[in-house]
Structure 1
Amino acid sequence: MAIKVLVVDDSSFFRRRVSEIVTKDPDLEVVGTAVNGAEAVKLAEQLKPQVITMDIEMPVMDGITAVREIMAKCPTPILMFSSLTHDGAKATLDALEAGALDFLPKRFEDIATNKDDAIILLQQRIKALGRRRVFRPIQPRTPTPTPITSRPSTSRETAPASRPPVRAAAPQRASGKKYKILLIGTSTGGPVALQRILTKLPGNYPHPILLIQHMPAAFTPAFAGRLNGLCAIDVKEAQNGDQLRPGCAYLAPGGMQMMVERGGTHGRIKIVAGSADMNYKPCVDITFASASKLMGSEILAVVLTGMGADGREGARMLKSAGATIWAQDEASCVVYGMPQAVASAGLSTQSIALEDMAESIIRETARG
């Protein structure tokens, strides 16, 4: 049965364009269109679509407000279309925090250099979201970082899932290994997942953290700034030559590749343009591989929600060097692609629910 899609945009041209792309795929069906957020909320309740594509700036009711109302009344996977500007980035992050699951640039030439590739990617994103069951998002609250010495929290957060979330097997006790760095790679669903993890880390977290999130260049400064304002640790967009320091997370800049090299006490960031034929900029595989050569077994690498298999080959190199690799469990992922690729290859030692990830990281890496 085809996945039912509601297309929301105040531009008749864009509604028609998206609708044509959706209907080209036999597994997708446009069941309605809306010209503003208020109409989208009404049609979402009436038509019960499995996916909604949503513009941000619209008359009557904007896309962010519409996301909040839809998630409160009839939770539905929502794909946002955004302009690649600083304001567009901030608005998109607001929409993700309100409950949207994914986003794409509104200009199709920004999605992929080839028009056919852009069309396929949009269809794939919609189908991936259409397979998920969503729940009302947790209301934002001021985060309280978990002290290093605290016991793991027993609180639960509801997460997007294909079935009601089921807690993964209880994480094992800390291994006793000594670590030098924490690596986290993610894609679809990653902004919310990273926020939920990083806001629980204490300001005296004893290691540097490298974050690799598939995200356009216009978005990473705004995302790093948002995380820095919410977290007890420092968060910044990585710059070439940054000296790694404990209690600071470095977000790979969009459109570039982040590596680590020798320098200073804990290592140094190296930012490069990377090969033009790379599918992902930034790429989890590249950062993981780079770290494996420098820090070997003293690495904890975590692969979170995302489409595709980026991170698998880098995790393979990390495991060969003796590093520890964890994957997010299926039930708490928006898209169980990247974690599944790592787990299915036998590279991860644990699959951990998102709500347990921060506490598990703290317990495992508490030793400075």
Structure 2
Amino acid sequence: MPIRVLICDDSAVMRALLADIIGREPGMEVVGTAADALVAREMIRNREPDVLTLDVEMPQMDGLAFLERLMRLHPMAVVMISSFTERGSDASLRALELGALEIVGKPAARSPEALTEYAGQLVERIRAAHQAWERMRGATRPRPLVRPIVPPPVAALSAVRSDAASRSAPLATAARSAGGRIIFIGASTGGTEAIKEVLQRLPAATPPILIVQHMPEMFTTSFARRLDGLSAMRVKEAESGERIVPGTVYIAPGHSHLSIRRAGTGYQCELARSEPVNRHRPAVDVLFRSAAEQVGAAAVGVLLTGMGKDGAAGLRQMRDAGAWTIAQDQDSCVVYGMPREAAALGAAVQVLPLSEIAASVLQHAVGA
């Protein structure tokens, strides 16, 4: 059976473009297009789509308001289509918290090459969202799409960071006692919430963390900023050539591969706008392979929920280099793809539910 897709976007140009891309894809069909949320609501009732592509900014009822109501009354697989703006990025991340499964930016260029690349990204995200929703719907026990997370009070978070800053020497000592360990995390579909859950369980004095989350350009800036407000650690978008320090999380920007490189007695981030790997840029395999080559047994690798195989081979390479490696288990994954491939390769020393990953990371990174 083909994946039935409903398109909701106030732009006639975007509706036509999305319909053309999806209509050409084998195994997919467009069951309707809607210019606003009110029309989409009726089409959902009458045409029973499998996946809804939803514009963030629309008249009458914006995408977030509609999504919140939809998830309460008629939950389904949703892929957000957003402009590359700060407002659009922030709204899209909020949409993931409300239950949307994927984000796709609107195409920045209309050249044949750019549209071909965009089409590949779009249909991949639609397939991932459909697979994730089918898995959730078929689960033997119900579980929420999103686990609500209450941000720590600003005053408390400031106190934690202030205390961490005043204890820079203990931070350095912790890193040295752990053999200068560095943590590497990769994720795709469902990963924004999974990463958030892991980071919120880690203290400020955790060794440095490098993360690749499959996400379009521009959205990673908002993602890093959002995590920074929820984590005791500092969270920022990685910059090429910057020195890696304890207590900091480095998010790969959506336009570049992230890798790690030795720099004197420490390490630094390296960014490259080279060709996609496993159809992704940034790619988890690029980060994990650099971890195996540059950090070796002092690394801890974690592969979280996501569709496809990106990161599996890299995690195996990390394990072969002596690193401690963890894959998320099937029951707690939104999409059991990347971790499944890692398990099949024997890449994971441990396969753990999401709720236990932070504790294992701490145990093997700082001896907690």
Using the size of structure 1 for normalisation, the TM-score is 0.81
The match for 2:151 is: 142
The match for 2:257 is: 257
Cα deviation, residue 78, structure 1: 0.6
Where do 1:303-342 residues align within 5 Å?
303-342=303-342
Cα deviation, residue 210, structure 1: 0.8
The match for 1:201 is: 202
Cα deviation, residue 46, structure 1: 4.8
Change (3 A) 1:284 1:124: closer
Change (3 A) 1:33 1:143: farther
The match for 2:164 is: none
Checking the alignment, whether the CA contact within 8 Å between 2:243 and 2:269 is kept in structure 1 is: no
Checking the alignment, whether the CA contact within 8 Å between 1:112 and 1:118 is kept in structure 2 is: no
The match for 2:48 is: 48
Change (3 A) 1:244 1:114: closer
Checking the alignment, whether the CA contact within 8 Å between 1:325 and 1:347 is kept in structure 2 is: yes
Q: Structure 2 regions of 5+ residues with no counterpart?
A: 137-143, 157-177
SS at match of 1:332: coil
* Matched pairs, number: 335
Cα deviation, residue 286, structure 1: 2.0
Where do 1:1-368 residues align within 5 Å?
1-107=1-107, 109=109, 113-133=113-133, 134=136, 135-142=144-151, 180-205=181-206, 207-263=207-263, 267-276=266-275, 278=277, 279-367=279-367
| Runs (4+) off by over 6 Å | none
Q: Distance in 1 between matches of 2:243 and 2:12?
A: 49
1:22-68 deviations in Å (ceiling 9; x for gaps): 23334223333322224434543554322110001100111111111
Change (3 A) 1:68 1:286: same
SS at match of 2:297: coil
Checking the alignment, whether the CA contact within 8 Å between 2:292 and 2:317 is kept in structure 1 is: yes
Q: Distance in 1 between matches of 2:145 and 2:239?
A: 37
Q: Which moved more, 1:348-357 or 1:228-237?
A: 348-357
Given residue 194 of structure 2, which amino acid in structure 1 is its aligned partner?
Answer: A
Cα deviation, residue 117, structure 1: 4.2
Q: Distance in 1 between matches of 2:341 and 2:33?
A: 36
Given residue 70 of structure 2, which amino acid in structure 1 is its aligned partner?
Answer: I
* Larger helix share, 1 or 2: 2
Q: Distance in 2 between matches of 1:330 and 1:77?
A: 19
Q: Which moved more, 1:69-78 or 1:350-359?
A: 350-359
Percent of residue pairs bearing the same amino acid type: 39
Given residue 350 of structure 2, which amino acid in structure 1 is its aligned partner?
Answer: Q
Change (3 A) 1:333 1:45: farther
Checking the alignment, whether the CA contact within 8 Å between 1:143 and 1:199 is kept in structure 2 is: no
Q: Which moved more, 1:21-30 or 1:8-17?
A: 21-30
SS at match of 2:305: coil
The match for 1:164 is: none
Supply the RMSD in Å over aligned alpha carbons: 2.7
Cα deviation, residue 140, structure 1: 4.0
Q: Distance in 1 between matches of 2:93 and 2:330?
A: 23
Change (3 A) 1:114 1:348: same
Cα deviation, residue 237, structure 1: 1.2
SS at match of 1:281: coil
Change (3 A) 1:325 1:112: farther
Change (3 A) 1:4 1:295: same
Q: Distance in 2 between matches of 1:136 and 1:303?
A: 19
The match for 1:170 is: none
Change (3 A) 1:308 1:268: same
Checking the alignment, whether the CA contact within 8 Å between 2:244 and 2:269 is kept in structure 1 is: no
Checking the alignment, whether the CA contact within 8 Å between 2:259 and 2:291 is kept in structure 1 is: yes
SS at match of 1:95: helix
Change (3 A) 1:275 1:21: closer
Checking the alignment, whether the CA contact within 8 Å between 1:233 and 1:248 is kept in structure 2 is: yes
Q: Distance in 2 between matches of 1:42 and 1:332?
A: 33
Given residue 190 of structure 2, which amino acid in structure 1 is its aligned partner?
Answer: G
The match for 1:159 is: none
Q: Distance in 2 between matches of 1:262 and 1:138?
A: 38
Checking the alignment, whether the CA contact within 8 Å between 2:289 and 2:315 is kept in structure 1 is: yes
Using the size of structure 2 for normalisation, the TM-score is 0.81
Q: Distance in 2 between matches of 1:99 and 1:22?
A: 22
